[in-house]
Amino acid sequence: MSMRSASEDEPEAVSSKPSYQHATRDAITIEIVYSVVTGAVIAALLFFLVASPAFLWRLSGKWNEITMGAAMAVSAAGFLYRVASLLTRLKKTTKGSCSGKQ
């Protein structure tokens, strides 16, 4: 019977330190989640800001619909703008940082 150490059983590719690609992938995932979460917060704030007259003054039927529609449109636009701007910045950043490393 031969005694083998634990290091002989593990493949050489497995390392305790994360690789550059793994770290980059994690950073991208965090940035995507950050953009979606902050976009949702901005959308909620914009919705309540635009819809606040309907909540405060109990507007009539037609004005309530117009106000709520505007609130939904503005909040959706705010969400899309936030996510798109952060992901565009991320694309420029990762493109520049990955060009020197291969």
List Cα–Cα distances, 76 to 5, 30, 47, 72, in angstroms: 58, 22, 9, 6
A 10 A CB-CB count for 13 gives 6
Alpha carbons 19 and 56: distance in angstroms, whole number:
54
Q: In the prediction, which pLDDT does 102 show?
A: 45
pLDDT in tens, the chain (102 residues): 555 555 555 555 555 566 888 888 888 899 999 999 999 999 999 999 999 998 898 888 899 899 999 999 999 999 999 999 999 998 888 776 665 554
Residue-wise DSSP of 4-40? --HHHHS-TT--SSPPHHHHHHHHHHHHHHHHHHHHH
